[in-house]
Amino acid sequence: MRIGPEHVSRQPSDTYYVNHDTVLRTHTSAHQVELLQSGLDRFLVVGDVYRRDEIDRSHYPIFHQMEGVKLFTPAELAPAQGNPDRELQLIQDDLKRGLEGLATHLFGPTEMRWVEEYFPFTEPSMELEIQFQNEWMEVLGCGVVHPEIVANAGRNPNQDKGWAFGLGLERWAMVLFDIPDIRLFWSQDERFSSQFASGQIVSFQPYSKYPPCYKDISFWLPPTQDDNDNYQFHVNDLNELVRGVAGDLVEQMELLDEFTHPKTQKVSQCYRIYYRSMDRSLTNAEIDALQEEVRRLAESELNVTLR
Ligand code: DAH
């Protein structure tokens, strides 16, 4: 899949390894090669994917993707008259038109924008962002399939050309059903699930706004250590630790402040953690206990020095 050892989708900081050899699927693009190899020219493939990531309303460690691939027939490429640049343009125009059309079909007139990106399996690559509750939200990655993917599938890259995309299904559902926070998909609360029925598109009616509560945590980062990177700090380790302690009670975490001590060169960071339940009010005692546990584990597992 043209994903070298350095790529984020292999990094322990961004993925969930089951053991040394096995990683939980990080994206459905992983299936492109095998499906092309099986002889398919167009397909959709849907699956659950797993990533260590930020904590905010549009990120969750498990989510679902829908991957789409289309290879063009010679007749479809004919208007480009065998000119590689024109073929690229033709494929890209078709891709953009299709995905913009999908968004407009589902959401009605919507503010959207294309952002250039890098993905190993497409060239060029881009992302589509949609305005949702006053912010831009990335809803898909896509591009023109890289010739090496086609070659790796045992096919002829001079003939088989086309596009691919990967949609974040929860995010599309957030826009479609007006669901403000991705955690809600995991809520067991009847007040959530009873609002939806198969085949119906409705706007979610928030049943409550429980108050958020935030706590700050400040620490000195561990010094950068040996070749095994053992003591290096990655923010996703903290994200994971906080999710492990607070589960769905954590809504967001942001870096508030960072500075380097002028003499020791040590780096200090301060994060703000927002706690809020989707379903009920949290008590002070409960939040204090969570924060205490986050502090304890940060010190013992991440080698940071609390301030
Ligand atoms: N796999 C990418 C992701 O998880 C999304 C993506 C980008 C899928 C480009 C594609 C593609 O099929 O061509 O962020």
Residue of the nearest CA to atom 14 in ligand 1?
141
Q: Which CATH architecture best describes the domain 8-184?
A: 2-Layer Sandwich (3.30)
Mean confidence (pLDDT) of the chain? 93
Ligand 1 centroid to Cα of residue 161, in Å, is 17
- Cα 169 to averaged position of ligand 1 atoms, centre (Å): 13
What mean pLDDT is predicted for residues 26-39? 96
68 within ligand 1 shell (Cβ under 6 A): no
pTM higher than the cut 0.85: yes
Average pLDDT over residues 1-20: 76
Q: Select the more confidently predicted residue: 237 or 229.
A: 237
CA–CA gap between residue 79 and residue 88 (Å, rounded): 12
What pLDDT, on the 0 to 100 scale, is given for residue 226? 56
Tokens 């302690």 identify what position?
245
Mutate to test the pocket of ligand 1, among 142, 148, 171 (most ligand atoms within 8 A of CB): 142
Whole-number pLDDT of residue 68: 98
Model confidence at 113: pLDDT above 90: yes
Q: How far is the CA of 297 from the centre of ligand 1 (A)?
A: 34
- 122 pLDDT tier (thresholds 50, 70, 90): very high
Say if CB 165 and CB 67 are below 8 A apart.
yes
Q: Is the CB of 141 under 6 A from ligand 1?
A: yes
Q: What is the dihedral of CA 53, 66, 277, 217, to 10 degrees?
A: 10
C-beta atoms surrounding 247 within 10 Å: 12
Beta-carbon contacts of 299 under 8 Å, excluding residues fewer than 6 positions away, are 219, 305, 306
Binding site membership of 15 for ligand 1 (Cβ less than 6 Å): no
From ligand 1's centre to the CA of 157, what distance in Å? 19
Q: What are phi and psi of 238, to 5 degrees?
A: -70, -40
**Ligand 1, atom nearest to 121 Cα:** 13
The number of angstroms, rounded, from the C-alpha of 301 to the middle of its chain's C-alpha atoms is 25
pLDDT in the model for residue 19: 86
Pocket test for ligand 1, best of 2, 14, 28, 29 (most atoms within 8 A of CB): 29
pLDDT 10s digits, 67-95: 999 999 999 999 999 999 999 999 999 99
119 in contact with ligand 1, CB cutoff 6 A? yes
d(CA 42, CA 72): 9
CA distances from 281 to 28, 174, 181, 194, 260 (A): 37, 23, 17, 21, 38
Domain ranges of the chain: 8-184, 213-306
- 3-class SS of residue 94: helix
Q: Spell out the residues 6+ positions from residue 3 whose beta carbon is closer than 8 angstroms to its own.
A: 9, 10, 120, 121
CB atoms within 10 A of CB 160: 17
Q: What token pair was written down for 181?
A: 């926070």
Q: Is the CB of 125 under 6 A from ligand 1?
A: yes
Which atom of ligand 1 is found nearest the CA of 26? Answer: 4
Q: How far apart are the first and last CA of the chain?
A: 44
CATH second-level architecture of 213-306? 2-Layer Sandwich (3.30)
